[in-house]
């Protein structure tokens, strides 16, 4: 079903007759959200509210909101909007007859679209310097299987209002750049 999370009637059509909603629609790239904060609010906050309202209207059993580690003490627009999404999911449980609302919060899924590994691979293939925010920058990394497992855990054992946070290893981005480039000192630009 193709639709627009910003359009509640579109979302209503998508959730009709379903038992579980996995809300993963988001503007998730930090720079895009910084440059266009209202777009981040429309998608990440109001889109989540549309999905929650549509799930309520359709009698959905469980609503799982997919969030990010950036929602904890957020310092950027993306993190702020995802923190608001989490609160909407938690608050939705107060509504009589609402779906069980739970959230999952994790870091970067390895090789997912927009993540650092495809970015570094693209820069390496072009012979371009690897762009890193800061030399001390780290990222929590999960495999796709681990990301799916946390969602399954939320469905199987989540109580209303729970936020599931997996234990994920962090990696220093300079170390990751070295590993992917195969060089001890690849050309890096700290942005």
54-70: pLDDT as tens digits:
999 999 999 999 999 99
116 conformational bin, left if phi > 0, alpha if psi -120 to 50, beta if neither: alpha
d(CA 188, CA 84): 34
Mean pLDDT to the nearest integer, 129-155? 92
Under 8 Å between Cβ of 148 and 89: no
pLDDT digits (tens, 9 = 90+) for 83-133: 999 999 999 999 999 999 999 998 888 878 778 888 899 999 999 999 998
Q: Which of 28, 61, 70, 183 is catalytic?
A: 70
pLDDT at residue 20 in the model: 96
d(CA 132, CA 46): 31
* Annotation says 70 is catalytic: yes
pTM: 0.88
């Amino acid at each position: 079903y193709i639709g627009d999370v910003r359009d509640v009637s579109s979302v209503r059509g998508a959730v009709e007759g379903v038992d579980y909603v996995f809300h993963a629609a988001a503007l998730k790239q930090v720079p895009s959200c910084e440059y266009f904060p209202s777009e981040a609010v429309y998608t990440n906050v109001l889109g989540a509210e549309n999905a929650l309202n549509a799930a309520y209207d359709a009698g959905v059993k469980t609503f799982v909101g997919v969030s990010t580690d950036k929602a904890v003490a957020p310092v950027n627009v993306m993190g702020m909007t995802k923190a608001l999404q989490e609160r909407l999911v938690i608050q939705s449980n107060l509504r009589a007859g609402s779906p069980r609302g739970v959230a999952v919060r994790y870091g970067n899924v390895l090789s997912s679209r927009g993540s650092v590994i495809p970015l570094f691979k693209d820069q390496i293939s072009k012979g371009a310097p690897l762009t890193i925010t800061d030399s001390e920058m780290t990222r929590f990394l999960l495999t796709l299987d681990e990301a799916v497992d946390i969602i399954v855990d939320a469905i199987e054992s989540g109580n209303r209002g729970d936020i599931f946070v997996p234990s994920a290893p962090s990696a220093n981005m300079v170390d990751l750049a070295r590993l992917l480039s195969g060089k001890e000192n690849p050309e890096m630009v700290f942005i």
